[in-house]
Amino acid sequence: MATDHGKVTAQIGGWQPVTAALSPLHQHQGRLRKVVLDADVSELTGVTQTVQVEMKYPVITHRVGFHQGISRALYAAVMAQATQDTPAEGGLAGTQFAHKMNLQGQFGLHGQLPPPGQGCILVGQVDLCWRGQVHPPMLPKAPGDVEPAVCQNDGMTTTGAHEPSLTAQEIRPLLEGWAQELGFQQLGITGIDLGEHEAYLEKWLNQGYAGSMDYMARHGSKRGRPAELVPGTCTVLSLRMDYLPDCSEAEGVLEDETRAYVSRYALGRDYHKLMRQRLARLARRIESRLGTGQYRAFVDSAPVLERAIAERAGLGWIAKNTMLINERAGSWFFLGEIYTDIPFEPDPPKVEKHCGSCTACLDICPTNAFVAPHILDARKCISYLTIEHAGSIEPSLRPLMGNRIYGCDDCQLVCPWNKFARVSGEADFAPRHGLDDAALVELFAWTGEEFDSRTLGSPIRRIGYERWLRNLAIALGNAPTSPDIIAALNARSDDGSPLVREHVAWALAQHQGWV
């Protein structure tokens, strides 16, 4: 087969693992179930083998591995509105394709392609299926762009032992039911085209807003291209789990400058392990039912644009404070993803942002970390400063941090949408060791051994004892002067860590009349 765009060689194999060597089409004749029932195809003269071509949606019937060249040729045939009639080399030698396709009234005018990322091209008795947010499907966008991923695994009709086949409409309620059984509040599905989010990330990194978070750029384009991170991925399942604990009122702790404020997500056990286990169980459940599939679970631990994926999956919109907001649940939830090669039906993305003219989250930020709506300079963000940043904290920012010793929730606390947030029923997210309302002096007195034992299984553990003391020293410097606070700071003035000593000295200087 040849096109006006150049010669293309293609080989097709049916019922083979994706990694297996592909074999010519003629070797599969008679072995594959006939899937083209009523195609509207132009007959051509002088053809060694006539191949029927049909665009169908949402039928997905066989798993096929194939060379990308054939998809480009088929796409060219549609768009050129002309017959491509020169034989090709390899598995489709002597085959001609007609541009005339039966779109079954699904996609509008004759000759148009299906919606982005949806459909099947059926060739003879083999179908080539794709699913993913790409447009045009299976065609490189421009020189230098990544080749769109193709779903080569048809898990929608593959079944487990003694299980009946499933349609796209039947599998969805099963997925949602399994997710809810595992403690997730919502599941959304999307393809792998993250649109403008990849470009936004690159621009944000180039502005230096990531601070010392070098890992944000370490994996190149993999963060914005799921199929590069996990080859074969064409669909992403995005799930959310509420985490707001039943604890002391956040505003009350923030107003009492002698108390330590810990971000609500970090009061209980580390969510990474819990959610990763639940996602793995969900993946196993899906694989058991379908009998096939590749799955990879992520929870804030890999180069994944989780909020972009969630927005594309319809779970919410990325708000002015860069958090994902759900109109029925606010923003107090964790996100997790399952990358898979199963072509599940995608959900419509959340296009409209419902923040309106509200700027409460931008105005409340203690350090003015928002450059503009949707743009956060992490170098000023208290969450970054207390968790990600390993060194000395800029002296001009220290007074603005108040009593926030691990993270910051101010932009969520003032968001009107969080009136819809619900308290989590997960026992693991409940406060431990009184961290929802602890005295600064009490926490500053912890020994290294106490820190290790009391933060075991907690997200706080990752910052280490040194940064824990650094953060507490700043909070003590911002607290009202009292003999207890001065005594606590003096006890650490000769600490073995230069970083701790520096911040203790600064804190003592804030209480000049008492030192």
Residue 38 appears among annotated catalytic residues: no
Q: Are 135 and 116 in contact (CB under 8 A)?
A: yes
- Residue with tokens 């150049």, as numbered in its chain: 6
- What single letter denotes the amino acid at residue 217? A
Catalytic position from the list 40, 85, 256, 300? 300
DSSP-derived secondary structure for 375-403:
EE-GGG-HHIIIII--SPPPTTTGGGGTT
For residue 187, list its beta bridge partners. 239
- Residue with tokens 């799955």, as numbered in its chain: 295
Report d(CA 52, CA 59) in Å as an integer.
16
Report d(CA 178, CA 239) in Å as an integer.
12
What tokens appear for 310 in the block? 């969630």
Q: Is 134 helix (H, G, I), strand (E, B) or coil?
A: coil
What tokens appear for 108 in the block? 């509008």
What tokens appear for 54 in the block? 């049909």
Phi, psi (degrees; rounded to nearest 5) at 490:
-60, -35
Cβ neighbours for 177, distance < 8 A, ≥ 6 positions apart: none
Crossing angle of the two packed helices 498-509 and 483-491, in degrees rounded to 10: 150
Q: Are 10 and 66 in contact (CB under 8 A)?
A: yes
Cα 194 to its chain centre, rounded Å, is: 10
Cα 266 to its chain centre, rounded Å, is: 20
Nearest to 222 by CA among 188, 191, 196, 194: 194
SS3 per-residue string spanning 253-267:
HHHCCCEEEECHHHC
Alpha-helical segments (H) within 156-270: 168-181, 197-206, 215-218, 226-229, 250-255
Q: Is the peptide bond before 136 cis (omega within 30 degrees of 0)?
A: yes
What tokens appear for 43 in the block? 């007959």
252 to 214, 411, 436, 437, 475: CA distances (angstroms) = 36, 16, 11, 9, 16
Report d(CA 390, CA 458) in Å as an integer.
18
DSSP-derived secondary structure for 41-108:
----SS-SEE--EEEESS-----EEE-HHHHHHHHHHHHHTS-B-B--SBTTTTEEB-S----TTSSS
Q: Which residues are catalytic?
A: 300
